[in-house]
């Protein structure tokens, strides 16, 4: 897609209310990084889902948020456990993103994973380029999702190109 002078581009407006399609269209044109939010049950059973609705909230203390669907099995485990990890996927992690958004019964069997150093949470050792270990400090229902606020207690990073999602497809961040 090439840039066009603003005056030459037609606007589309919603007429009466905003339906699912309108809202999806809006968010589709807002590319973001791709994460897998992971946690575990008290018996150590890992859970995780692909999540793009993650963002920074506060610097002091360091807090991020993730919006998880209120029927999500991972959400139930996050709220039970009170801790979770956010795995930021690198450009080679597309398959992991697909697996953790799919109906595959054992998602963790399809990836390399280990336990994080501080909280012992499941993390994706091959597909992530950064990982945040978080404690749940607040959770608020918002429509059909729950906004989970996590205070970041540990960070793992390595320099790799992030995976992006937007316009209904995955892409590698090509950078400036
Ligand atoms: C690119 C992408 C981004 C997604 N982002 C979110 C998200 O931010 N929150 C969410 O609840 N589900 C999101 N999903 C959907 C979940 O990954 C999917 O529904 C998953 O199967 C839920 O798993 P669970 O019920 O085991 O937790 C996303 C899916 C894709 C493909």
The Cβ-side half-sphere exposure at 78, using a 13 Å CA radius, reads: 31
Mutate to test the pocket of ligand 1, among 23, 53, 64, 69 (most ligand atoms within 8 A of CB): 69
Token pair of 48 as six digits: 């995780």
CATH superfamily of 33-166: Electron Transport, Fmn-binding Protein; Chain A (2.30.110.10)
For the stretch 102-154, pLDDT in tens is 999 999 999 999 999 899 999 999 999 999 999 999 999 999 999 999 999 99
Output the CA 102–ligand 1 centroid distance in Å: 8
74 lines ligand 1 (CB under 6 A): yes
Ligand 1 atom with the smallest distance to the CA of 102 is: 21
pLDDT for position 153: 96
Return the C-alpha torsion angle 57, 162, 30, 71, nearest 10.
-70
Output the CA 158–ligand 1 centroid distance in Å: 25
Close Cβ partners of 132 (under 8 Å, ≥ 6 residues apart)? 64, 85, 86, 88, 150, 152, 154, 155
Q: Could you state, in order of their start, the residue ranges of all structural domains in the chain? A: 33-166
Q: Is 43 strand, coil or helix?
A: coil
pLDDT for position 110: 98
């Amino acid at each position: 897609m090439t840039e066009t002078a603003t005056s030459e581009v037609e606007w589309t407006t919603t007429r009466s209310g905003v339906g699912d399609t309108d809202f999806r269209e809006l968010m589709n044109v807002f590319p973001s990084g791709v994460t897998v939010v992971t946690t575990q049950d008290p018996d150590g059973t890992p859970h995780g889902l692909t999540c793009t609705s993650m963002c920074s909230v506060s610097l002091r203390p360091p807090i991020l948020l993730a919006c998880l669907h209120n029927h999500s099995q991972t959400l139930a485990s996050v709220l039970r456990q009170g801790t979770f990890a956010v795995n930021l996927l690198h450009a080679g992690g597309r398959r992991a993103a697909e697996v953790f958004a799919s109906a595959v019964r054992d998602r963790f069997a399809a990836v390399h994973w280990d336990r994080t150093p501080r909280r012992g949470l499941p993390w994706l050792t091959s597909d992530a380029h950064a990982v945040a270990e978080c404690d749940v400090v607040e959770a608020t229902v918002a429509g059909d999702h729950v906004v989970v606020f996590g205070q970041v207690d540990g960070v793992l990073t390595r320099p790799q190109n992030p995976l992006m999602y937007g316009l209904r497809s995955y892409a590698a961040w090509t950078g400036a």
